[in-house]
Amino acid sequence: MARTNFCIVFMRPDVGPIRRCNRHLCDPLAAAAKTGSAASTGLAFAIGFIPYLLLSLPAGAWADRLSRSKMMIWADIGRVALMSTLPVAFFISGETPVLLLFAVQAGLSAFAALFDAAYGAYLPLIVDKDKLGSANSAMQSGTSLSQILGPVLGGAFVSWFGGSEVLMLTAATYLISIVSIMKVRRSERQQTRTAQKRRLLTEIGEGFAYVWNHKLIRTTGIFSMLANLVIPATYVALLYKLQRELHVASDVTGYVLASWSAGMVAGGLVYGRIKALLSLKQLLVAVLVLWMIPPAVLAATSHTGLIAAAYGLSGFAVSVWNIALITLRQTSVAPDIMGRAMTSIRLVAWCSLPVGNIVGGAVTQAQGTTAVFAIDVAVRIAMLLLSAFMFKQMNQPAANEDEPAQPLKPAS
């Protein structure tokens, strides 16, 4: 039953490859067609990211208060309503106002924050604990596959159907999402309702406190933050090396960068087999060791084939690492605080992404790409050395998940 439920949720367009192709690739092309301006299109999606950041933490608290499945359904209903305003406006006036496009993007971002917070806390309720690894690996494979197929499908959809029709197709996928969620048969366990009587900021603070005082979860968050510091930095350096140092053609550059997603797909597909052979500790150590190879190769070679292979190997390592850590968190966090804890971890993990981009560009400009790749290797070595602390926490018995989460005492 758990496997059937997960398959239904995974096939939902919002988290599966179909929806991600529409959301991240068809919609940008449609926006370009509507505005006729690359700057306006970029501004639309920049505006659309702000509400996600602002609402992520409150959404985590609401996910712990409310029914998570209903929260996802209402988020999808809101997105259907928003997307429907674009073709309606076009039908009435013959054009889609740019300001409306911006407003819709911001609204979609807000509803995405609500949906993602509920979904992250919902999956452990409908999938058995021993199946969470398989569920997350399937999710990772679908997401990565969409990044490969997206450019092809996105361009084809806009070319075949036109901008307005693509927007309607996107709205239709939300309806599919709603139906898919409603078909999940397993009921949610009763969530703690006393949190409804407390202030929202208090509940958000409890999420941060839980993450900080839970030594294992705190350590995984720090590891993700370190990884997200060097991943974008290496991407910036690699792009600079391909375009400016090696003068690789743009289409070949695209293929090389796509190897990352191909590696992530492979990681998701084989995660179950690897996990069957290795313990979680052995798996994490193997990934950390494997992770040192790609930046070293990127620094040492100018052969595009080797660069693509190394970057694909990096994507493979990231995929396996993400699946392992996400599953570890889902099996370690108490259910009644899952929404707040997962959104707090996400914020901690993502805070280093813009820093990584800035550092990657600055170091590349000042010292060259090799320096960035060397920093990447150094961070991986540091993570390997620090992994002993995470393994120590993994040896400690887990808290009783059936008990309501309480603020923990400060970690010693």
CB distance 55 to 77 below 8 Å: no
The residue range of the domain holding 24 is: 2-188
Confidence band of 404 (pLDDT split at 50, 70, 90): very low
Which residue, among 364, 356, 257, has the nearest Cα to 314 in the 3D structure? 257
Residue 184 and residue 257 share a domain: no
The pLDDT tens digits for 76-121 are 899 889 888 877 887 788 776 777 877 887 888 899 889 988 888 8
The pLDDT tens digits for 251-286 are 788 788 889 888 988 998 899 899 889 988 899 999
Q: Please identify, among 188, 213, 233, the residue that sits at the C-terminal boundary of a domain.
A: 188
User: Which helix (H) or strand (E) element contains residue 221?
Assistant: helix 215-240
Residue 97 and residue 23 share a domain: yes
Residue 272 and residue 324 share a domain: yes
CB distance 174 to 42 below 8 Å: no
User: Which helix (H) or strand (E) element contains residue 272?
Assistant: helix 250-277
DSSP 22-83: IIIIIHHHHHHHHH--HHHHHHHHHHHHHHHHHHHHHHHHHHHHS-HHHHHHHHHHHHHHHH
Residue 60 and residue 178 share a domain: yes
Q: What 3-state class would DSSP assign to 130? A: helix
The pLDDT tens digits for 363-382 are 988 899 999 999 999 999 99
Q: What's the predicted TM-score (pTM) here? A: 0.74
Opening angle at CA 342, ends 339 and 345, nearest 5: 145
Determine, yes or no, domain membership for 294.
Answer: yes
Task: Return the exposure string of 46-73: e unless at least 16 CB atoms fall within 10 Å of the residue's CB, then b.
Answer: eebeebbeebbbbbbbbbbbbebbebbb
User: Which helix (H) or strand (E) element contains residue 346?
Assistant: helix 338-350
Determine, yes or no, domain membership for 196.
Answer: no
Percent helix, strand, coil in the chain, to 5, is 85, 0, 15
Of the two residues 143 and 291, the one the predictor is more confident about is 291
Of the two residues 106 and 9, the one the predictor is more confident about is 106
Q: What pLDDT does residue 370 have?
A: 94
Whether the per-residue pLDDT at 147 is higher than 60: the answer is yes
Residue 256 and residue 168 share a domain: no
Determine, yes or no, domain membership for 194.
Answer: no
Secondary structure of 190-206 as H, E, C letters = CCCCHHHHCCHHHHHHH
The pLDDT tens digits for 19-75 are 444 454 445 445 555 555 545 555 555 566 678 878 888 999 998 888 888 898 999
Q: Please identify, among 188, 221, 252, the residue that sits at the C-terminal boundary of a domain.
A: 188
Taking residues 162-184, what's their average pLDDT?
71
Q: What pLDDT does residue 44 have?
A: 56
Residue 340 and residue 218 share a domain: yes
Q: Domain containing 106 — which CATH number? A: 1.20.1250.20
Q: How many distinct structural domains can be found in the chain? A: 2
Taking residues 229-233, what's their average pLDDT?
89
Which residue, among 216, 100, 190, 213, has the nearest Cα to 404 in the 3D structure? 190
Determine, yes or no, domain membership for 193.
Answer: no
Q: What pLDDT does residue 380 have?
A: 92
Q: What mean pLDDT value characterizes the chain?
A: 77
Q: What pLDDT does residue 161 have?
A: 58
